[in-house]
Amino acid sequence: MNEENVKLAKIRKSCHIGNIISTVVLVLSLFMLVVGIWGGIKVLSMGKAFDEMVTKETYNGVFSASNNSGSVSVVDVKFSSLPLDLRSDIPAVQEALDDHPLSVLYGSYILSMSVIMLAVVALVFLVRSVFAIIEKEGNPFTIHVKRRIKAILIATSVMLFLTSGTGPCILGILIAIAVNAILDYGITLQTQSDETL
């Protein structure tokens, strides 16, 4: 077995491992997505009962609506500082906000996190497909791989812009440009290598 075949075998093996890991992450992400959607709907459907439970358990010291657990920050959202005097032009929403604001706020927050988790599921699925393509073709420098990686990097940059802001988005775009250039060069070298064989 020559040196090139050994390297290709290592690439296939690492892509096989990447495929397994990304499959596990995909399953966990799907589980978290389902739990998030179910939890958000459950909290919203509890309505006033949820508000009463949170108020009672906060008063008893069992539950804290802050973002800290002892001296360690758990979540970067301060639910206790959320405004409870929200207004809506939709009468049904305004009635829900007046009747059970905590249920609406917590439920909406959980569902919005589920939307982010849906984007994560899509990205992990795309990454998994890149590993599968490379494992099947035995070569990372193909047009299929380049297109898929470009889609992943663009989607990640958009997600960074929506969740983290402009700075991380710009960094994501710069990384996308660099990876695109590397893949273009690799595809060119691979084409030249194939032509000489």
Asked if residue 134 belongs to a domain, the reply is: no
Q: How many CB atoms lie within 10 A of CB 52?
A: 14
Asked if residue 135 belongs to a domain, the reply is: no
Strand ranges (E), the chain: 68-69, 72-73
Domain check: are 157 and 114 in the same one?
no
What confidence score (pLDDT) does residue 22 get? 93
The stretches in the chain having pLDDT less than 50 are 68-78
C-alpha closest to that of 118 among 154, 76, 155, 170: 155
- Show the domain range for 196: 141-197
Asked if residue 33 belongs to a domain, the reply is: yes
Asked if residue 190 belongs to a domain, the reply is: yes
Q: How many CB atoms lie within 10 A of CB 69?
A: 10
Domain check: are 24 and 114 in the same one?
yes
Distance CA 86, CA 105 (A): 10
What confidence score (pLDDT) does residue 74 get? 40
What confidence score (pLDDT) does residue 63 get? 62
* Residue 81 DSSP symbol: G
Cβ neighbours for 145, distance < 8 A, ≥ 6 positions apart: 130, 133, 134, 137, 139, 183
Of the CA atoms within 13 Å of residue 74, those in its CB half-sphere come to 10
Domain check: are 106 and 149 in the same one?
no
Question: What tokens does 12 get?
Answer: 């296939």
Give the end of a domain, one of 118, 151, 170: 118
What confidence score (pLDDT) does residue 20 get? 94
In the chain, the amino acid numbered 53 is M
Distance CA 115, CA 119 (A): 7
Domain check: are 48 and 87 in the same one?
yes
What confidence score (pLDDT) does residue 164 get? 84
* Residue 3 DSSP symbol: H
Domain check: are 106 and 196 in the same one?
no
Do 125 and 23 meet the contact criterion of CB atoms below 8 Å apart?
A: no
> Does the global pTM surpass 0.85?
no
Domain check: are 31 and 106 in the same one?
yes
Domain check: are 107 and 56 in the same one?
yes
What confidence score (pLDDT) does residue 77 get? 42
Domain check: are 35 and 107 in the same one?
yes
pLDDT tens, 44-73?
899 888 888 877 776 766 666 555 444 444
Domain check: are 152 and 60 in the same one?
no
Question: What tokens does 56 get?
Answer: 């009672």
Asked if residue 164 belongs to a domain, the reply is: yes
What confidence score (pLDDT) does residue 136 get? 85
Q: Which residues are paired to 68 by β-bridges? A: 73
Domain check: are 111 and 68 in the same one?
yes
Asked if residue 132 belongs to a domain, the reply is: no
Distance CA 136, CA 59 (A): 59
Rg (CA), the chain: 24
What confidence score (pLDDT) does residue 2 get? 75
Domain check: are 57 and 114 in the same one?
yes
Domain check: are 83 and 41 in the same one?
yes
Number of folded domains that form the chain: 2
Give the end of a domain, one of 87, 118, 149: 118
Asked if residue 182 belongs to a domain, the reply is: yes
In the numeric block, the tokens 């508000």 are attached to: 51
Asked if residue 95 belongs to a domain, the reply is: yes
